[in-house]
Amino acid sequence: MAGSAAAAFTGISAGTARAAVPASPGVTYTNTIAEQRADPHIFKHTDGFYYFTATVPAYDRIVLRRATTIQGLTSASETTIWTRPATGTMGGYIWAPEIHFIGGKWYIYVAAGDANNIWHIRPYVLECADANPITGTWTVKGRIALPLDTFSLDATTFDVNGTRYLSWAQNDPAVGRGTNIYIAQMSNPWTITGAPVMISRPTAAWETAGGETVNEGPAVLQRNGKVFMTFSASATDANYCMGMLTASASANLLSASSWAKSTGPVFASFAATSQYGPGHNQFTVSEDGKSDILVYHDRSYKDISGSPLNDPNRRTRVQKIYWKADGTPDFGIPVAD
């Protein structure tokens, strides 16, 4: 099913007519983009290609596709650019790769466990200096050193006003069970500097549903002088949903008080379109550069037998983001297939 274009209109406030928010052109995609590809990440590069990576059900490797359109990713060939070792560090679960282009090189941020302890999940960075990351040579730069050596995953990086930051999910026993969202400044693409700051922890019912206490999968969208950081919350079944932290781009992003959390989910399961557990999202831009696109995974069914992590059917989907007159994103509902 294609997403639908809707004009953006603003109400006319009493006495003064405000210019309608200019409606960006409609853009439509046919979902699903990729079956059995969770935690999707689509990067639009200056070379005319969209690069797409995601978690595979076997949790054993990093795959990469590229196409000149988002829809083209559906049929694009998929290359394994790195496979976990049979033993040692990074030999366990391989989760949620992200591909970024920083300072003229490609970087992949990924969470990995160890072969002898698949739950020893920590964030790692791989680097490729070649122009084409699909055929290029990837090397492991190493683990992102964090002051607290605990379960940590879903690292993402972003630049605000020339400063590069890392945000990730991590357990801190002093805070409690589950994972919280942290931010730190970066001194290079694989190193943080300064003390990490916790900017969100799961406390509300919509963040602790399904027996899990989860804030994870941070992703950043910048527009209108604001930094919107979405994250995923609750168990990775139909309870999974997205929350959002908002900060001014001119604020001290390393201060927890700069971030305001949404009072509830900004994107959640929607039975009328048979979409369940939407989350671990990311953002890209439409082919014409005029629309922000929400990239996320979900399932087409509500009930899962066994552990959600063993259910392979989280699939990649995309849809246009609309903007409210107050300058905040409106993610709407997960559209139908």
| 70 φψ region: left (φ > 0), alpha (ψ -120 to 50), beta (else) | alpha
CB of 219 to ligand AHR, least distance (A): 11
* Cα separation, 300 vs 44, whole angstroms: 27
- ∠ CA 265-287-56, nearest 5°, is 55
- Minimum CB separation of residue 64 from ligand AHR in Å reads 17
Is 96 or 244 the residue whose CB approaches ligand AHR more closely?
Answer: 96
Name the residue nearer to ligand AHR (CB basis): 54 or 134: 54
- Structure tokens, 326: 């107050």
Is the backbone of residue 103 left (phi > 0), alpha (psi -120 to 50) or beta?
A: left
* Residue placing its CB nearer to ligand AHR in the complex, 90 or 153: 153
Quick one: tokens of 159? 């630049």
Token couple for 126: 């791989």
Residues 6+ apart with CB under 8 A from 327: 223, 224, 225, 226
Closest CA to 298 of 325, 284, 316, 286: 316
CB of 94 to ligand AHR, least distance (A): 9
DSSP state at residue 78? -
Given the complex with ligand AHR, which of 299 and 320 has the nearer CB atom?
Answer: 299
Q: To the nearest whole angstrom, how small is the minimum distance from the Cβ of residue 279 to ligand AHR? A: 8
Name the residue nearer to ligand AHR (CB basis): 55 or 286: 55
Rounded alpha-carbon distances, angstroms, from residue 330 to 84, 112, 152, 161, 267 = 38, 33, 29, 24, 9
The gap from C-alpha 220 to its chain's centroid, in whole angstroms, comes to: 8
In the complex, which residues of this chain contact ligand AHR (CB under 6 A)? 38-39, 55, 95-96, 111, 153-154, 216-217, 236, 280
Measured between alpha carbons, how far is 35 from 105 in angstroms, rounded to an integer?
A: 29
Verify cis geometry, omega within 30 degrees of 0, for the bond prior to 32: yes
Q: What is the DSSP string of 89-119?
A: TT-S-EEEEEEEEETTEEEEEEEEEETTEEE
Residue 136 or residue 210: which is nearer to ligand AHR going by CB?
Answer: 210
| CA dist 153 → 63, 123, 166, 180, 217 (Å) | 18, 5, 12, 10, 8
Neighbours of 130 (CB within 10 A): 12
Rounded CA-CA distance 125/60 in Å is: 16
Catalytic site residues? 39, 216
Looking at the Cβ atoms of 127 and 154, the one nearer to ligand AHR is 154
